[in-house]
Chain A
Amino acid sequence: GAVVSQHPSRVICKSGTSVKIECRSLDFQATTMFWYRQFPKQSLMLMATSNEGSKATYEQGVEKDKFLINHASLTLSTLTVTSAHPEDSSFYICSARDLRGSYEQYFGPGTRLTVT
């Protein structure tokens, strides 16, 4: 199956700093990538849809200035958490949809962010 990677897998940062998370589709091209957030023992919540070459579409309640998304190529999307605070600590998961129109989304392994 298709492979999606995320980097880093874990990150600890100090409050007020920014953190960048990368999501890569390794063996397919993805015009659309998705960013989810998951709190402990809860479901995945869609944060934004990242479209290659255009602005991301954010879900209601998600601050676009805080969670910057860039989808510069067909294989890479980045999520930058700006001025991170402890309440931003969470598990962030990306997924990608194959350009060839498969019905499936392929998920990355996730990034665990801890803000101290």
Chain B
Amino acid sequence: DQQVKQNSPSLSVQEGRISILNCDYTNSMFDYFLWYKKYPAEGPTFLISISSIKDKNEDGRFTVFLNKSAKHLSLHIVPSQPGDSAVYFCAATLSGSARQLTFGSGTQLTVLP
């Protein structure tokens, strides 16, 4: 049973445009959500996170939105750059187990020059 789902395996966006990556979850006990980025032959790297008590967190070109009632979060990248091309994983943690992440299956983002 997948508790964190990323239903779009891939997304292509033109350079300079907005990229929107989506993630749904089923476990209402998740209290922290994160996005990781992974390049080929590298480990995932932390991108941005949001606590369940917030609905938005922004860091430069990256913004994460959380809709708890819909159990949905999204990552917005504006403007998109070719270097953003990577696999993006959504992840969640349960209260008290902050280092144990439940990941989605990932979305391959391709930013076209």
Is the A/B pair a real complex?
A: no
